[in-house]
């Protein structure tokens, strides 16, 4: 009988220090996330230098907590996986060096993981993948439609030409003077508001699966400035609802059209913005009678965590991918190239 396999993963690409253990590719054993949000709030966004320092402080504590929670030791692990990119270089370096140190000290294989591959694979902790599948990746740094024909292979069929969806949320939230991170705040306000303002939707040229959110972001900011100059009161709930309606309309419509065109078995939603109530509801409605199965991860697997890195890392490990001792943080790591280099 094949022995159980345990992968320990580390994620430090942005403002969460996270360690998780996954058994046999899909079974979550522990998932510890130390968030730094409180430290970055007063600056209205993530300050890279502060993020790196926090990762250094939290790294060993988080690792110990994960092992304690699992009742396991590093010797029980089959491999160590780590986010090597994309993300903030100083933040990534902390995780990469921690993973290298553990792997070297314990003589365990080391696996580098692409952060977005992780977001996608978070879904596999809930439900087995069926190919071909499409993933709508919506995070603070990425907005992409990714086609997967098999494990570990990623083809980007559409992506944002400017701001990521989460970035637009955070910038609009800042203009509305809402605390960081703004996405959940706007989402909450939007539930209480009405779509009273007709903000633009960037459909782009016919058939394109690319996205653009900077025009929408500017339209919201301009409308708020204009209201300010005229002493006109705009209900923040209505601004949030109108902005969210535009984002959700474009994301869900393009995702559905792509699913039909590519005849995929599953549509997988991934990344922090997958936590958005409006987006979840719109996608559920669109895919209700579709042959394509819609998978949306539970909230704790939407935002950054290491369980997703362990899930993607386990697949990379079983496909034979190994990183050397020269593994480095790669802030601009390309998803398609990451998938291709394993074969
Ligand atoms: O995936 P993630 O945790 O980090 C990155 O890899 O970027 O995504 C963070 C982004 C932030 O922009 C945050 O505002 C957004 O996800 N976000 C949301 C919601 N929850 C988090 N955006 C809209 N609605 C939400 N409920
Ligand atoms: Zn992320």
- Counting residues of the chain whose pLDDT is more than 90, the rounded percentage is 93
| pTM exceeding the 0.85 threshold for the entire prediction | yes
Specify whether domain 6-121+302-340 bears CATH 3.30.420.40: yes
Ligand nearest to the CA of 141: 1
Residue 313 beta carbon below 6 angstroms from any ligand 1 atom: no
For the record, the structure tokens of 340 come out as 């291709």
Give strand ranges (E) for the chain. 6-11, 16-23, 27-35, 79-85, 110-114, 133-138, 143-148, 155-159, 266-270, 293-295
Token duo for residue 198: 């007709």
The finding on whether 121 has its CB within 6 A of some atom of ligand 1 is no
Annotated binding site for Fe cation: 115, 119, 304
Contact 66, 8 (CB under 8 A): yes
Atom of ligand 1 nearest to the CA of 141: 7
Within a 10 A sphere around the Cβ of 143, how many other Cβ atoms?
29
Q: How many H helices and E strands in the chain?
A: 11, 10
What is the reported pLDDT for 37? Answer: 86
Q: Ligand 1: distance of its center to the CA of 141 in Å?
A: 9
Same fold, 6-121+302-340 and 130-296: yes
d(CA 88, CA 95): 11
The domain 130-296 is placed in CATH, from the list 3.50.50.60, 3.30.420.40, 3.40.50.2300, 3.90.1580.10, at 3.30.420.40
Q: Are 54 and 39 in contact (CB under 8 A)?
A: yes
φ, ψ of residue 269 in degrees (nearest 5): -100, 140
**pLDDT of 42:** 84
Q: Is the CB of 90 under 6 A from ligand 1?
A: no
Testing ligand 1's pocket by substitution, the residue of 88, 166, 188, 276 carrying the most ligand atoms inside 8 A of its CB is 166
Q: Which helix (H) or strand (E) element contains residue 226?
A: helix 214-229
Residue 342's pLDDT is what? 56
Domain ranges of the chain: 6-121+302-340, 130-296
C-beta 273 within 6 A of ligand 1: yes
pLDDT of amino acid 1: 57
CA distance 222 to 220: 6
Q: What's the confidence (pLDDT) of residue 259?
A: 98
Q: Which residues are annotated as a binding site for substrate?
A: 137-141, 170, 183, 187, 276
Q: What is the pLDDT along the chain (343 residues), one digit of tens a residue?
A: 569 999 999 999 999 999 999 999 999 999 999 988 888 888 888 899 999 999 999 999 999 999 999 999 999 999 999 999 999 999 999 999 999 999 999 999 999 999 999 999 999 999 999 999 999 999 999 999 999 999 999 999 999 999 999 999 999 999 999 998 899 999 999 999 999 999 999 999 988 999 999 999 999 999 999 999 999 999 999 999 999 999 999 999 999 999 999 999 999 999 999 999 999 999 999 999 999 999 999 999 999 999 999 999 999 999 999 999 999 999 999 999 999 985 5
The CA 214 to ligand 2 mean position distance, Å, reads 20
Q: Is the CB of 116 under 6 A from ligand 1?
A: no
Give the per-residue pLDDT at 2: 66
Q: How far is the centre of ligand 1, averaged over its atoms, from the C-alpha of 173 (Å)?
A: 12
DSSP assignment of 8-40, as one string?
EEEE-SSSEEEEEEEETTTEEEEEEEEE-HHHH
């Amino acid at each position: 009988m094949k022995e159980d396999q345990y992968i320990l993963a580390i994620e430090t690409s942005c403002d969460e220090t996270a360690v998780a253990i996954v058994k046999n590719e899909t079974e979550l054993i522990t998932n510890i996330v130390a968030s730094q949000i409180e430290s970055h709030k007063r600056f209205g966004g993530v300050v890279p230098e502060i993020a790196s320092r926090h990762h250094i402080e939290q790294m060993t504590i988080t690792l110990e907590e994960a092992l304690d929670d699992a009742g396991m030791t590093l010797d029980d692990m089959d491999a160590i996986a780590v986010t090597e990119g994309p993300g903030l270089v100083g933040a990534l370096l902390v995780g990469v060096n921690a993973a290298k140190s553990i792997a070297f000290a314990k003589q365990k294989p080391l696996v580098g993981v692409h952060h977005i591959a992780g977001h996608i694979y978070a879904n596999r902790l809930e439900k087995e993948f069926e190919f071909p599948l499409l993933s709508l990746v919506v995070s603070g740094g990425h907005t992409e439609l990714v086609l997967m024909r098999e494990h570990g292979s990623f083809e980007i069929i559409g992506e944002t030409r400017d701001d990521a969806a989460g970035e637009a949320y955070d910038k609009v939230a800042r203009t509305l003077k809402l605390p960081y991170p703004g996405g959940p705040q706007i989402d909450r306000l939007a539930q209480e508001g009405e779509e009273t303002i007709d903000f633009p939707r960037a459909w782009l040229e016919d058939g394109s699966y690319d996205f653009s959110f900077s025009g929408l972001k500017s339209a919201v900011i301009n409308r708020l400035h204009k209201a300010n100059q005229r002493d006109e009161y705009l209900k923040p709930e209505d601004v949030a609802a109108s902005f969210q309606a535009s984002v959700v309309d474009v994301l869900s419509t393009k995702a559905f059209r792509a699913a039909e065109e590519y005849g995929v078995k599953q549509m997988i939603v991934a990344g922090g913005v997958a936590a958005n109530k409006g987006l979840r509801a719109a996608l559920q409605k669109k895919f209700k009678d579709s042959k394509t199965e819609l998978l949306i991860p539970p909230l704790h697997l939407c935002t950054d965590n290491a369980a997703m890195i362990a899930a993607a890392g386990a697949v990379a490990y079983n496909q034979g991918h190994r990183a050397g001792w020269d593994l480095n943080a790669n802030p601009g790591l390309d998803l398609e190239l990451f998938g291709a280099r394993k074969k």
